[in-house]
Chain A
Amino acid sequence: MAGKTLYDKVFDAHVVRREADGTCLLYIDRHLVHEVTSPQAFEGLKIAQRQPWRTSSMLAVPDHNIPTKDLDKGITDPVSRLQVETLDKNCRDFGVTEFNLGDPRQGIVHVMGPEQGATLPGMTVVCGDSHTSTHGAFGALAHGIGTSEVEHVMATQCLIQKKMKNMRVNVAGKVGKGVTAKDIVLAIIGKIGTAGGTGYAIEFAGEAIRDLSMEGRMTVCNMAIEGGARAGMIAVDDTTIAYVKGRPYAPKGEDWDKAVTAWQDLHSDADAVFDLEITLDAASIQPQVTWGTSPEMVVAVSGMTPDPEQESDSTKANSIRAALKYMGLAANQPINTIAVDKVFIGSCTNSRIEDLRAAAAVAKGRKVASNIKLAMVVPGSGLVKAQAEREGLDKIFREAGFEWREPGCSMCLAMNADRLEPGERCASTSNRNFEGRQGQGGRTHLVSPEMAAAAAVTGHFVDVRTL
């Protein structure tokens, strides 16, 4: 019998029941909750007079609607405020732990979970949010679910699920200097396409992945969903274990030793069989910039926008044309000639301490270019913010002309006041460049924190390695 993949191991360890057709009841260890996708689920429980199965599995935090400045004024938008207050009330009513607004642990749900050690190797982790794939960086099986499933997990601690297929993406060799986790994952999506991972759990492997810090691994897994895969995973190693150790929700004492022993098995067996394997040469990956309205529309910063006339498939040619039109770009336009209006450093993809350090290193001693209307840095959580301030990163950013904001999702999806105006162009470290994502008519280019900072100080896209 062939060995098991990492995904097989974690999935199989959580099967409560398996029906003849392969439909499984899958046990969920950790359920993260935020204000946007939970109110209807809590309401469903109330209507059916059900109680959550195990509140200790749940951890809630408001993030999407949170303002990033003038927090003393509270949330001024009444609709946003009601949603956050509804989460507070539901958590009180059902006895769910919540890090409220004002708690230093509050932040983007996918930054907060790992930071607290609430995400552990080998766990099943769900959240009503597609970027739950982030937590797969810990060798956990983590994916986004819809609100009905949120209610289902609350009520039963289980999900009804069939096994996905296995894909492995090998990033072989070492990346060059100045090439980041974000560039790796954008290059992967550029290669497999936004639907390339549909139906699969992706395991990211290879030397370039092993070389990444946990922050970098989270960046990669975060965007698995942009490649169509609900779950991205990375095998557990010493980097993983060192990161988890000592965190508030991590096991302690004897439990810690037992856990570490159990986690040693969280990798794919040497003879495991994948339904699909893809290999990228790390050395050939350059800093990436998306030019279009889907994360797969991405090129190296040294490249240019595509030419629809050169595309033989008419559906593809049409989508290139539509994307260029929306983005206000011409065909064959060199990426480094594109000027930007706003810069956003933040989101669950790139708002961890290491991301802020990398961006600050570029900003240090430089000034935001005069054509930039706003360059903002939004830390992923209150704890990241505090750490960055201890290291003096806030000063570096402020001196360079960046705004230093309070933690939250912010302009990643513009549910709060931070947004693009129609036609504005943004260098953003977030994960989606869909039409209108950062504000109606806004134009988003996805880049790494280093590349975003470089765009801020030069006013246009530029290869950060040449600064």
Chain B
Amino acid sequence: MRTIIVGCGRVGAGLAGQLARDGHEVTVLDQTTEAFRRLAPDFPGQALRGDGTDESVLRRAGAAGADWFLALTNGDNRNILAAQLASETFGIQYVLCKINDPVRAQAYATLGVHTIDRTMMMIDSIGRFMGRPAMPGAADVRRAAVQPVAAPVPPPGHGELPAAGPPAEGAEPPGPGDGRTGGR
């Protein structure tokens, strides 16, 4: 499983380590080499300095032929551009885009991009901690219910990906009780 992660922040670096341990061939991209300090010293994957919204950089990172692409920088718009490059230009099947602005997240989910929205995740987590009812789907990767193409089948054998697998067609989103991902 070839996986490209754009943005070596806490989430990107943490996920890179986990996925690499699972056996993914991981390439992490960031614009600063400083960011790679977050990777464990024994990180077996590749760390590449470069702009993840630049087609030639992505090509160098092996985007052609990658199975997973996770856009996890701090910039919503950079993630949106990177994610669409990944799916449209490189034809990567499983593309995830972090968008922290809920309005934009909703808009792009409607456009068929798999989005994850930290803002709603945290509002949901904190709300539940305070005894409020869970917000359905807030902690999940979202995409429009009406999808322009058939939903891809998640690749097998990597159970360590909470809610990251694109939902199978017709599958119910995981219940509120599963939404324990909103920690950060």
Is this pair of chains taken from one and the same complex?
A: no
Interface residues of B (CB under 8 A from A): none
